[in-house]
Structure 1
Amino acid sequence: MGAGGPPSGGGAPPARASATPLPAPPPRRRHTWRRAILATLITAAVVLPLSAAARPAIPAPPPATLPHLSAATLDKAYAANRANAAEAARMAAAHGDKHRAAADRSLATPTHHLLRFDGRGEGQVTEVFGDLAHADHIAVLVPGSDTSLDTYARFRAEATALHHELTRTDPRTAVIAWLGYQTPDTISTTVTTTGRADQAAPQLREFIRRLKGIADQDEATVSLLCHSYGSVVCARAATDLDATDLVLLGSPGTGADTAAALHTRARVWAARGTDDWVADVPHIKTDLFGTTIGFGTDPMSPSFGANRFAAGDGGHSDYFDPGSVSLTNLARIVLGDTSEVTRA
């Protein structure tokens, strides 16, 4: 008999073995991660305000009244802001906060070129390194979480390192450390949402617009180097931003699915060190009680569409380390030597 017929010899076919039933699938836990995030946020919302309240507000004068910023008025603005920092230091010392007084006092010295200073609250400062009025290339550093007047020395060191690297090739460069917003705490509810970035974006956009009016060079390039949560700020400000390059360093995401969705004329770059813990941050974006948590697509993902470049084996705070691969590539981007940038 042909294939598929009963066996020859007329015997009855062997009994079919009964199929072993498959174990029941485990119950789906599709909301487990959302519950975990929610629990973390609730804990942070309760604990952090209590811990923050332990430190009383530090008194400081309102920001100095400045002339219209231009190349001709830069020195007056620098002097006015240094005087304001000196007064803030005196008020902080009288209040008994020696750490803040020391931070303010250091900014009041003649070596600091402050475009803006505000000693109130966590504090804000914008400092220039180099000859801004005659620069052909300007880099603006936008910091991430946990950056304030109390921790400004760390941020300033990054700007100093970049300026030193740039001037090795081209002395007509300037670097600006822009602490122009209240950054979120790393362990907080605000670091997982765009709230602080939405508040900061208009200020950053306006600052870049005014910056182009200060520089004497009409063709001066402006590059934004945005670290960690600062990349969220830059992304929210990206539309119609008058910048040549937008660099995302150690970014948790931008809130946009692609670089094209940022609607910017700037070239978009992204880098992440191999030892950067932000690589382990889930790139999610979900709605919880009307608030969007997370920032979505990883900027280092090919689908995002950024120009990815090498950042070496550094960690989350190492992108501006002297002699590092990342610092070398950042200088090349700022100077427009994009063909020399080491791609990831």
Structure 2
Amino acid sequence: MAPRPRTNRPRTSRPRRPGRPRRVLLAALVTASVAVPMSCAARPADVPAPAPTAVAPLRAATPAALDERYAASRDDIRAAERAAAGHGDRKRAAALRAMAGPARHFLSFDGRDGGRTTEVFGDLAHAGRVAVLVPGSDTNLDTYGRLRADAVALRRELGDRAAVVAWLGYATPSTVGPEVLTAGRADGAAPRLRRFLGELDAVKPAARTSLLCHSYGSVVCARAAAGLRVADIVLYGSPGTGTGNVRELHTQATVWAGRGADDWIAGIPHVRLRLPFTTVGFGADPVSKGFGARTFDAGGGGHSDYLKPGSVSLRNIARIVSGQPRPEEGGDA
């Protein structure tokens, strides 16, 4: 048989698969591209506010001690309202005026740089169960209504023997900014969260306390988790924690994880990329089997629906806070 004639057609080769660092970088960029369209709020305007009153750590959870702290925070809110009004921001001033109402109870308030607040829902003095909510990105004084609505819904689901604390104790990252892809804000927030939970444990040692961590708030909770005296750490709508598994959290708490079927965060690649000056991404998926958390059924809701009244996720999170042994568990992701 005669040999086949050679042709001048160029040889083709299979496209080279990008190396692992490149794949991880691409995944991080995908993360950003997913997050950007989901943002519905920018960082708040730079509205001036005075420094809050310096207060000593809470020494007791008696009604009198709590009322004294609530009154001090109310004065700080009114001072911030006056500053906002003087700045010409009528919307912020109106929101602060509502916060200063006699039915609202803040353990702390700082109106600077978007706002830091710790608000109590329910009777903390007599509560046997306490849930502490840690919010994620784009939570500030201008968007605080969303966090408050979640706290109100959970408090109603839990009943009168429970209190809910909405802890906005840090400057949350913007969903459209690069900081939402790193643990920088969480690293700054974690010592404040640990300090608050230590203070709460000191005045409520017999209460069953659970830490509820939404979205980027789960990164904050993971940074603060080691050694915390809490019964449960609940991660929901989480992009990851910056750890590979539950053991790396170094906590005695039961760690739970849930994700709604319609939560866009399911599309976030679970990677960590070490760059010269930072690390991008948060690693293992908390609802995956390998992470090691107990999973719970979060229903079919989206990223902002976990504490929506009547939802499966709200019901199951309330069961966890209440210490009920068998919340409806979800399958492994």
TM-score by length of 2: 0.88
Which residue does the alignment assign to 1:187? 176
- In the TM superposition, 1:1-344 aligns within 5 A as 23-30=12-19, 31=22, 34=25, 37=28, 55=45, 57-69=46-58, 70-72=60-62, 73-167=65-159, 171-215=160-204, 218-344=205-331
Is 1:133–1:214's contact at 8 Å kept on the other side of the alignment?
Answer: no
Mapped to 2, the partners of 1:17 and 1:314 lie a distance apart of 63
Is 1:300–1:308's contact at 8 Å kept on the other side of the alignment?
Answer: yes
User: 1:180 deviation in Å?
Assistant: 0.4
Is 2:30–2:269's contact at 8 Å kept on the other side of the alignment?
Answer: no
Is 1:270–1:308's contact at 8 Å kept on the other side of the alignment?
Answer: yes
Q: Look up the equivalent residue of 2:135 and give its one-letter code.
A: P
Is 2:260–2:300's contact at 8 Å kept on the other side of the alignment?
Answer: yes
Mapped to 2, the partners of 1:241 and 1:114 lie a distance apart of 23
User: 1:229 deviation in Å?
Assistant: 0.1
User: 1:181 deviation in Å?
Assistant: 0.5
Unpaired stretches in structure 2, ≥5 consecutive residues: 36-41
Deviations 1:205-234 (A, max 9, x none): 11001001222xx32111001000000000
Mapped to 1, the partners of 2:47 and 2:169 lie a distance apart of 18
Q: Look up the equivalent residue of 2:282 and give its one-letter code.
A: F
User: 1:28 deviation in Å?
Assistant: 3.5
User: 1:121 deviation in Å?
Assistant: 1.3
Is 1:60–1:88's contact at 8 Å kept on the other side of the alignment?
Answer: yes
User: 1:107 deviation in Å?
Assistant: 0.8
Is 2:76–2:109's contact at 8 Å kept on the other side of the alignment?
Answer: yes
Is 2:57–2:199's contact at 8 Å kept on the other side of the alignment?
Answer: no
Unpaired stretches in structure 1, ≥5 consecutive residues: 1-13, 45-50
Deviations 1:75-128 (A, max 9, x none): 011011011101111110110111211221111001110000001111011000
User: 1:34 deviation in Å?
Assistant: 2.1
Deviations 1:19-51 (A, max 9, x none): xx994111333326626856998xx9xxxxxx9
Mapped to 2, the partners of 1:262 and 1:132 lie a distance apart of 28
Mapped to 2, the partners of 1:305 and 1:148 lie a distance apart of 32
RMSD: 2.5
User: 1:343 deviation in Å?
Assistant: 3.5
Report which stretch shifted further, 264-273 or 131-140.
Answer: 131-140
Mapped to 2, the partners of 1:331 and 1:255 lie a distance apart of 26
Mapped to 1, the partners of 2:54 and 2:275 lie a distance apart of 42
Report which stretch shifted further, 66-75 or 313-322.
Answer: 66-75
Mapped to 2, the partners of 1:234 and 1:40 lie a distance apart of 21
Q: Look up the equivalent residue of 2:139 and give its one-letter code.
A: T
Q: Look up the equivalent residue of 1:305 and give its one-letter code.
A: G
Report which stretch shifted further, 284-293 or 176-185.
Answer: 284-293
Three-state SS of the structure 2 residue aligned to 1:295 is coil
Mapped to 1, the partners of 2:110 and 2:161 lie a distance apart of 28
Which residue does the alignment assign to 2:38? none
Specify whether residues 228 and 235 from structure 1 end up closer, same or farther in structure 2 by C-alpha distance, changes over 3 A only.
same
Mapped to 2, the partners of 1:163 and 1:113 lie a distance apart of 14
Is 1:271–1:310's contact at 8 Å kept on the other side of the alignment?
Answer: yes
Is 2:27–2:269's contact at 8 Å kept on the other side of the alignment?
Answer: no
Is 2:121–2:152's contact at 8 Å kept on the other side of the alignment?
Answer: yes
Which residue does the alignment assign to 1:7? none
Mapped to 1, the partners of 2:132 and 2:31 lie a distance apart of 33
Is 1:67–1:77's contact at 8 Å kept on the other side of the alignment?
Answer: no
Aligned length, in residue pairs: 315
Larger Rg: 1 or 2? 1
Q: Look up the equivalent residue of 1:156 and give its one-letter code.
A: R
Mapped to 1, the partners of 2:17 and 2:279 lie a distance apart of 24
Mapped to 1, the partners of 2:26 and 2:202 lie a distance apart of 49
Using the aligned pairs only, state the percent identity. Answer: 54
Deviations 1:243-301 (A, max 9, x none): 10000001000011001110001000000000000000011101122311000000011
Q: Look up the equivalent residue of 2:176 and give its one-letter code.
A: I
